[in-house]
Each structure stands twice: as C-alpha cells, then as structure tokens.
Amino acid sequence: MLSQTLRYLLTTLSFVLKPLGSPERVFLLLLTAMVLIVLWSYEHTQDRDGASLLKDAPVLAPITNLNDLSEIVIATRLGPTTYLTDPDGKTVGLEHDLGISFGAYLGKPVRFLVLDNLDQVLTAVKLHKAHFAAAAVHETSELKQQFDFTLAYQNSHPVIVYNNNFNSPINSPQDMIGKKVGVVPDPTHLEILKQYKEKFPKLSWLSYPRGDIDLDLLQKVYEGTVDFAISDSNTVAIAQHYYPDLVVAQHLTPSSPLAWAFPKDSNNPLFQAASVFFKRWDHGGDLSEVVERYYGHINALDREDSSVFMVKRASRLPKFTQIFKKAQSLTNIDWRLLAAVAYQESRWDNNALSPTGVRGLMMLTADTADHLHVSNRLDPNESVPAAAIYLKQLEESIPRSVPEPDRLWMALAAYNVGIAHLEDARKIAQHKGMNPNAWNDIKKILPLLSVPAVFSKTEYGFARGGEPVNYVENIRSYYDILSRFEDKYRPGLKFLDFTNR
C-alpha cells in the first residue's frame, strides 16, 4: 500500500519538476519531497521482519500496579482476523479493535508489536517483550500449560482448503501427497501436519515466510499456485467473499476457543483486569458488537452470489465508476459503498424495472425521484447523485449517539424499509433492554415488524422487516469485496496534478 503511494508521489514529483517557475510549484516540490521522506522512513521501518523486531524489542518491567503502567504492549500478527492495514490505509482487525477498547477501558495507550506469525507472538509473551498475545490464539490444552487465557471471544478450527477448479475433493490428508500444500507458521496447524506426516511419511508442505499472511496464502490457492492450504475457519469464511471458488475440504479438529494469552502468573494485575474487561463486555453486549462488525455479514452471500458479483464487477461496474465517484465528491459517501448499493438494487443494470415500478440503476420509486428532483430515473447521472444525497440525509437523521459504522448500516436499512420503521425497531429494542444504537441488536428486531403481536403496537405498523436486514448484510459484503479490489477515491489529491498546466 505504501509502495503504491510512493510511486504515485514520485510520479507527481516528476510533473512538479517540469519548469520550476512559479512559487506554487517550488512550495509543492518541497512539500512533496518532505512527504516522500516521511513515507520512505515509515515504510523502511515497516519492512523489518518479525524476527528482528522481536530481537530488538525491550524486555518489559513486571507489572505490580496498573497505575504505574505507562502503556500496554500487545503482540499480534498480520491477518484479516487480527491486525491489518486495509486498502484505504486504515488499521483494522478484531484483535486490534479489542486491544484498543481494552486500552480505553483502562485509560492506557496501546502499542502493538506486529510480528510475522503466531510462533513469534507467543515467544514475545514468554520473553516478556509483550504484555499478552492477541492474535487469534487457540486455547489448546498444550498452550494452557504455558499461558493464562482470558474469557474466549470466539471459536474457530483449522481446515483444509482448495480451489475446486484446479483440484478434486479429498477423503483424507493422504490425498494431498504429491500436491503443493501451504501453511503459514502456526503451532496448531504445524502440529496437525506433523501428526499426519507420522501416518503418511511422503506428505510434505511449504511454510510460507514473512509477508504471506493467511489471506495471501488463500489467494495462492484461489489462483492455483498452491493446491491445498491449512487455515482457520474464520479466516476462510472472510476469504470466500473475495475468492468464491475456495472450498473447505476437511475440518481437521473440533472447534476450540480463541482468547488472549498472558504469561503464566496468577498475580498479574493486567490479566485480572483483562478478565474483568471481557466479562463486562460479554455481559453488556459490547463484545458481540465488535465481533459482529467483522463477522456479522460473512454468511450473507453464497458462492454463486460472490462469483456473479466478481464477473459483473469486471463487465458492468467500469461503465458507472466515474458517476459513483462524482457522487462521493458530492456527499462524502465512499463511491464503493454507493456501487454496492447500486448492485444490490439493480445488479448495475441501468434499465432495471421491478413489478412495483421502481426503475433504474438505483431503483428509485417515482415518489422518491420527485422528492429528489430526478426527472429521468434511467439516467445514472441523475439517479446516482440523488440516491447518494438521500442516503446521506437518512444517515444524518439518525442520532449521533449511534456510532459508525452502525449508523451507516441503519441508514441503509432506512433506505430500504423507511426511516419510520427503523425508528419503530429502535424503540422496540430499547423497550426490550437491548441497545437501540447497535446494528447487532437492530437487525434482530427488524424482522419482528412483520409479526402481528409486535407491529400492532408500533407507531408505523407492518413492515417486511427481514428484507432490510438481508439488504444491509448483502451490501456490507459487496462493499467489503469492492474495498479490497477497487481503489479508494481521494478527490482532495487533484491539486497535485500538474499535467494540464
């Protein structure tokens, strides 16, 4: 990601260097050069391998009192379920978000020691170079002898994955003999493979080095350069959005809990605080909300849905990309989200027409089109900006007490079912003691709006409440895919283009 940025800035710099005449060019030359130096320095730091980072990391002082703790150091590893910089440059991941929340809970800053694999992560904890490991660590009986584990926040299990376009299903690990088998170093996965090798001595595999996180390895399986891979079921579920031909061949072990791993020390006040933190978060629903942020929509699309979407992304989306980007400039709503909405509405078919009379790329009703001053619903130059403005209006009508991205998901639900029915659902959630500001709770309530015993007591009555839930979860899935494969639009960088001067 940063390398792409550097290449972009170097290209920009070449334009700036063309006749240096105006003070503006000189100033921007200096500014661009400074940014290049900072980015190069950052990238150079990030390029260090986990082994050297681990070696150079200082040993942390024992914790006797939380008040004396200046920062929390968390060992983690790169991965879609742990810690990752997304295509937009934002740090994301379930472990990252939980770690930041734990720091906020204690009022302490958090620093992540991002290593290459789980082996290094656990070593960092053993050597007291990190306070604990938050890296999708399986709470196995073997690891429980070496570490103290918090309350589990998820369950997962290792699986064998393949691409059914290149390989056939397998009945046992023996069928992988002679095939290219890949694994990212993980004690649990490597131990399983070693056990299989005792039964099948000819079985071999390739441990992928630093730079290949699980998602990269699964991409190799999708592309056919690796025949089979061992990965966690949670990671595979996310990857199947992007690579729909991935198929789970076998579940290798029963599901096991994932939890934070602390050094073996029953008197560790940070471990005790983490245990209380997870209990409170689990009881209050905060934990399930964070998990929902990453996994709440992963089952929305089946393999065929994802495959068709990928095909139409290549064949239909380019025709409308610039229109979506113009709508982003108008509303500040990510063009890829608007594109996801349009796909859910019309499959990017500008001439779409439903039996109920909604028409066009954004499938606007006649009333909505009139409200937004759209004269021709079949003209995407009219319908897309209008729909974006409408979605923005809906989002702004939802209280700011609703955090992002939940506020956006609720706005999408309102786009589908109407803001009035969304408010009914929020009132029901509050009455039931649920969180009206959490999409995780609202999506459980919305389907109840079709139940007579429930909608008869609401202000706005019946609604097919299951539809907006499916609508939002599908859009979240499409948006995830587009965010991985399509570049973010940054209209603010236009001032750096000197080609027309």
Residues known to be catalytic: 345
φ/ψ (deg, to 5) at 259: -155, 170
Task: Look at residues 470, 486, 457 and name the one whose alpha carbon lies nearest to residue 416.
Answer: 470
C-beta separation of 74 from 141 below 8 A: no
Instruction: Give me the residues paired with residue 206 across strands.
Output: 182
What SS3 string covers 5-50? HHHHHHHHHHHHCCCCCCHHHHHHHHHHHHHHHHHHHHHHHHCCCH
Type of residue numbered 367: D
Question: Cβ-count burial of 419 within 10 angstroms (0-12 exposed, 13-18 middle, 19+ buried)?
Answer: middle
Distance CA 321, CA 318 (A): 5
Task: Look at residues 115, 158, 155 and name the one whose alpha carbon lies nearest to residue 135.
Answer: 115
Distance CA 478, CA 472 (A): 10
Distance CA 271, CA 308 (A): 47
Distance CA 301, CA 5 (A): 32
Task: Look at residues 349, 338, 341, 337 and name the one whose alpha carbon lies nearest to residue 312.
Answer: 349
CB neighbour list of residue 125: distance below 8 Å, 6 or more residues apart: 75, 131, 132, 133, 147, 261, 262, 263
Distance CA 64, CA 423 (A): 49
Distance CA 487, CA 403 (A): 25
Taken as a whole, the chain contains a residue count of 501
Distance CA 183, CA 117 (A): 11
